[in-house]
Amino acid sequence: MTKTNPSKKAGRNRRTLPSRQRTYVRLRVRVDRLEDAIGHFYNVTNELRERVSTLEKKVKAFSQR
């Protein structure tokens, strides 16, 4: 008599899982890169907002002289 593990689904081969498919892995990598690019875009945008705000304060102080 062979023992079976009840936690494993019968007849499901690990190689057929979507997470093991080449296309899925490639798409996952592309999504990760896209998330990184979006994060970088927001960081650059926030940095530019800070610089503009600083320049606006300097111009306002200069024009009040």
Residue 64 lies in a domain: yes
Residue 2 lies in a domain: no
Residue 45 lies in a domain: yes
Number of domains in the chain: 1
Q: Which domain holds residue 46?
A: 36-65
Residue 22 lies in a domain: no
Residue 17 lies in a domain: no
Task: With residue 14 as reference, give the H or E element that holds it.
Answer: none
Residue 57 lies in a domain: yes
pTM: 0.58
Q: Tell me the pLDDT tens digit for each residue of 36-62.
A: 999 999 999 999 999 999 999 999 888
| 17 torsion bin: left (phi>0), alpha (psi -120 to 50), beta (else) | beta
